[in-house]
Structure 1
């Protein structure tokens, strides 16, 4: 869950939706690893027209993905733009 300063639209708080941990934010910048999902369900979905938005700390991401029947595809990116 992300909260922004209304006046400047600056990020001031990120809370893990999995465990409730307050993640470190400094000057509008998230200072630790976080999985962010912002997904709009579409046609043929039971959740058609619903938008889901959540954040997971790295510990919750690891815990949840360990339960997957098929693990996520991981690619190491060597050049960050």
Structure 2
């Protein structure tokens, strides 16, 4: 015989995204969410600093909106490789 028990599962989800450079914030979920695809307009980055760096063993995580990412890439001396996935 099986006895069943009700469980509540708590799941952490992104409610909003803020660009670390310009401060633009967009809601991703909820009643007042701006658009369901808004998270596609932001990009997350991680920078890992290894031994010998002036930031030994640090990890930097940040998000940039597409506008700030494009401005950042335009400052490159060499353009990044671009391909479709």
Greater gyration radius: 2
TM-score normalized by structure 2? Answer: 0.70
CA-based RMSD of the aligned residues comes to: 1.9
Task: Answer whether contact 1:15 1:21 (CA < 8 A) is retained.
Answer: yes
Which of the residues 9, 16, 21 maps onto 1:18? 21
For structure 2, which runs of at least 5 residues remain unmatched after alignment?
A: 1-9, 31-35
Match of 1:38 in 2: 46
CA distance in 2, matches of 1:64, 1:12: 26
Return closer, same or farther for 1:42/1:30 CA change in 2, 3 Å cut-off: farther
Where is the strand percentage greater, Structure 1 or Structure 2?
A: 1
Runs of 4+ with deviation above 6 angstroms: none
Return closer, same or farther for 1:44/1:30 CA change in 2, 3 Å cut-off: farther
Task: Answer whether contact 1:14 1:25 (CA < 8 A) is retained.
Answer: yes
For structure 1, which runs of at least 5 residues remain unmatched after alignment?
A: 1-6
Report the count of equivalent residues. 70
Task: Answer whether contact 2:16 2:29 (CA < 8 A) is retained.
Answer: no
Where is the helix percentage greater, Structure 1 or Structure 2?
A: 2
